[in-house]
Amino acid sequence: MRGKPGSTTARPTVIMLADWSTEKSDSFTRAAQRMAAYVDMFSRMMMSPIYVEIVSRDLIMTKYYGPVNEPALSRTWDTVSDLIYERLQSLPTTRGYLTCLALQKFGVNRFIDANPATVYISMDHRSDETSWYGVVSAVKDVLDRIAGWGHVQVHIEHNLNMLCAFETLPFDPSKRAKGEAANKRITGDYSETVQIGHDFSPSRYLLEGPEKQSPGFGTVGCFIQIKTKSDAEWRTCVLTNHHVVRAAFDGFALHTQPDGETVLTPPPKDSDLWRADFYGYKPSLKLDHEVTSFESPSRTKHNFTIGVIDQDIAELSERVSLMERDLRTSKNKQPIRESIREFKADIAIMKAEKKAKESFIENDKQILGNLLASSGFRRQVGRRRMDWALIELNKSRPWSNALPGTRVWQSKYRRTAAFPYALGTQIQPENESRSVENPWELGPIFKVGCSTGATTGEYHWEKQTVTMDHDQHLGSDRLVTKELVFGSRKDIDQGIKLCDHGDSGSVLFDKDGGVVALLFRGHKHLDSYDDGFGYVTPIEHVFDDIKDFTDIRNIRIAP
């Protein structure tokens, strides 16, 4: 069955793999037509059409990509990418559907430098792939007219940038492995002190008909302090992303597709969320409903954690019952009694953990704070998207700006070269001499996200032209921006990804602990050998935009 995401679009399809080439395109078209005529007789028997598709073998192979390593191309890429974008906007099947435009070495050869220089293009699923042969020809025509670009190839695919993660209630055991891989199971005690890298969410459930759904989660980037003209004292705020606080606004909704996938639905025009996306949010914005407050840990992770504990208790209890039944007839009772004793002890530990976690929530220790301001989706500085939000911390909630210590990094990486110099110390203000706008002088970067934890990365090549799927409802007011790319370090274990779903809102810091950027989104090529990369906004742009948009006059990293 082949189709767009969602089972209602899937169709029975005969797929043939072939070694594709431009010269063979007419032959493959005729072959597909003949195959379609042949299977038509079976279509009539099934009372349903059977589709035929010939696919290049390369499209299903693992993809390898890396820096283009051709200075002549890198120097002109900003100009060339603008020309390509203009061409894509002129074609009805790609206009408004771009999600990523990049220049990379790209192909199926595991020796990355052996792959050709390639313009990588990804589209959302509204773009009709049957028209892409003409799209590729149009882009190649642009490249062929520019000196030194004639050898560059073009690859196009359907791909959305990394989204926030959502978990449907009640707990679904079939999603356990995926949820645990995404670090949704919180082990140990809940922390009364909220810290860098902790998860948070709006303090409410979402309704889809009679069903409740969790509101997703984002990452606590770090704590900053602000002053307006009228403030006598510093006010402490969480710095994170606008797109991860959107579920706090009326108008945010989810839809479950027939295949069980949960997707965002566009907010109604002039709803609170639509206004926040369009204008940005600050207290002066007129809304019809109160903005929901926030909590940490998120109820998304809390629900998953309790669901896992309940499942483990139920399975162990069933095991104990079976062993107690066998004990009555067994001739060797001692080993069974010992196992029963150990299992019952494990059950008692899990019940105590569940009780402590539920007590934490019942006593309102999860309260985080209220939204103070957020950028919306239409702000940019220097062609970089602004995607920030400030949550004013509730005075009752303890907080810490401490970075992870040595043990945290040792649990993730084997080599100390992956560790920053700043271990267990407070995150520091930005260093004016270090900026992600000058990545070659920056060196490796580090982050703490609520999905991937403490990770390290480095600058990844040329800037990419990027859109976000969350702002499709803004139509012609959607932003198309050029973003800085950071991913896993090549000198460290590449199997450890820099970021993933749920890490949005993390801050990046340098080896000395100085904050340098805000992570807001990521991207992963289809069938690629690695886990993708992230897009970041220079922290100096974020702070400047906060001051420009609000009445905040002073900002500092909270000491």
Specify the pTM. Answer: 0.85
Q: Return the pLDDT at 94.
A: 96
For residue 386, what is the enclosing H or E element? Answer: none
Is 168 a residue whose pLDDT tops 50? no
For residues 147, 148, 149, 151, the Cα torsion angle rounded to the nearest 10 degrees is 130
Q: Return the pLDDT at 178.
A: 84
Q: Exposure pattern of 285-297 as b/e (b: 16+ CB <10 Å)? A: eebeeebbbbbbb
Residues of the chain by 3-state class (helix, strand, coil), percent to 5 = 35, 25, 40
Q: Which residues contact 44 (CB under 8 A, 6 or more apart)?
A: none
Boundaries of CATH 2.40.10.10 in the chain?
A: 400-538
The closest alpha carbon to 391, from 424, 411, 368, belongs to 368
The 3-class SS string of 146-175 reads CCCCCCCEEEEEECCCCCCCCCECCCCHHH
Q: What beta strand segments (E) does 275-363 contain? A: 294-295
Q: Cα(156)–Cα(130) distance, rounded to whole angstroms? A: 12
Q: Return the pLDDT at 40.
A: 74
> What Rg value do the Cα atoms of the chain yield, rounded?
26
Per-residue pLDDT band at 164 (split at 50, 70, 90): very low
Is 386 a residue whose pLDDT tops 80? yes
Q: 206 and 254 in contact (C-beta within 8 Å)?
A: yes
Give the DSSP letter of residue 516: E
Q: Cα(197)–Cα(403) distance, rounded to whole angstroms? A: 9
Per-residue pLDDT band at 167 (split at 50, 70, 90): very low
Burial of 534 (0-12, 13-18, 19+ CB in 10 A): buried
Cβ count near 508 (within 10 Å)? 27
Residue by residue, DSSP assigns 337-398 as HHHHHHHHHHHHHHHHHHHHHHHHHHTTTTEEEEEEEE--SS-EETTEE---EEEEEPTTS-
Is 165 a residue whose pLDDT tops 80? no
Q: Return the pLDDT at 5.
A: 54
Q: Cα(358)–Cα(353) distance, rounded to whole angstroms? A: 9
Q: 436 and 484 in contact (C-beta within 8 Å)?
A: yes
Q: What is the mean pLDDT of residues 306-328?
A: 94
Q: Return the pLDDT at 507.
A: 98
Q: What is the mean pLDDT of residues 524-546?
A: 94
Q: Return the pLDDT at 98.
A: 95
Cβ count near 272 (within 10 Å)? 22
pLDDT in tens, 53-66: 777 777 778 999 99
Q: Return the pLDDT at 33.
A: 78
Amino acid at 57: R
Q: Which two tokens stand for residue 454?
A: 């403490």
Is 81 a residue whose pLDDT tops 50? yes
Q: Return the pLDDT at 36.
A: 74
Q: Return the pLDDT at 456.
A: 97
Q: What percent of the chain has pLDDT over 70?
A: 94
Q: 523 and 161 in contact (C-beta within 8 Å)?
A: yes
In CATH terms, the fold of domain 400-538 is Thrombin, subunit H (2.40.10)
Q: Return the pLDDT at 421.
A: 97
Q: What is the mean pLDDT of residues 282-301?
A: 95
Q: What is the mean pLDDT of residues 281-308?
A: 95
For residues 491, 460, 535, 254, the Cα torsion angle rounded to the nearest 10 degrees is -80
Peptide bond connecting 266 to the previous residue in cis, omega within 30 degrees of 0: no
Residue by residue, DSSP assigns 49-111 as --EEEEEEGGGGSPBEEE----HHHHHHHHHHHHHHHHHHHTSTTTTTTEEEEEEEEEES-SS
Q: Return the pLDDT at 169.
A: 52
Is 385 a residue whose pLDDT tops 90? yes
In CATH terms, the fold of domain 62-159 is Alpha-Beta Plaits (3.30.70)
Range list of H helices, 394-458: 406-412
Per-residue pLDDT band at 410 (split at 50, 70, 90): very high
Give the DSSP letter of residue 113: G
Q: Cα(325)–Cα(252) distance, rounded to whole angstroms? A: 52
Half-sphere exposure of 367 (CA within 13 A, CB side): 12
Burial of 106 (0-12, 13-18, 19+ CB in 10 A): buried
* Candidate from 26-35, 84-93, 151-160, 287-296 with smallest mean pLDDT: 26-35
Q: What is the mean pLDDT of residues 496-517?
A: 95
Q: What is the mean pLDDT of residues 420-428?
A: 97
Q: What is the mean pLDDT of residues 420-426?
A: 97
For residue 300, what is the enclosing H or E element? Answer: helix 299-327
Q: What is the three-class DSSP state of 362? A: helix
pLDDT in tens, 84-98: 999 999 999 999 999
Amino acid at 78: D
pLDDT in tens, 426-467: 999 988 888 999 988 899 999 999 999 999 999 988 999 999
Boundaries of CATH 3.30.70 in the chain?
A: 62-159
Q: Which two tokens stand for residue 407?
A: 């043990």
Q: Return the pLDDT at 85.
A: 96
Per-residue pLDDT band at 74 (split at 50, 70, 90): very high
The closest alpha carbon to 159, from 118, 121, 124, belongs to 124
Q: What is the mean pLDDT of residues 362-387?
A: 96
The closest alpha carbon to 505, from 266, 249, 263, 165, belongs to 165
Which of 257 and 10 is assigned the larger pLDDT?
257
pLDDT in tens, 189-237: 999 999 999 999 999 998 877 778 888 899 999 999 999 989 999 999 9
The residue behind tokens 């004639």 is 150
Q: Return the pLDDT at 29.
A: 77
Q: 271 and 19 in contact (C-beta within 8 Å)?
A: no
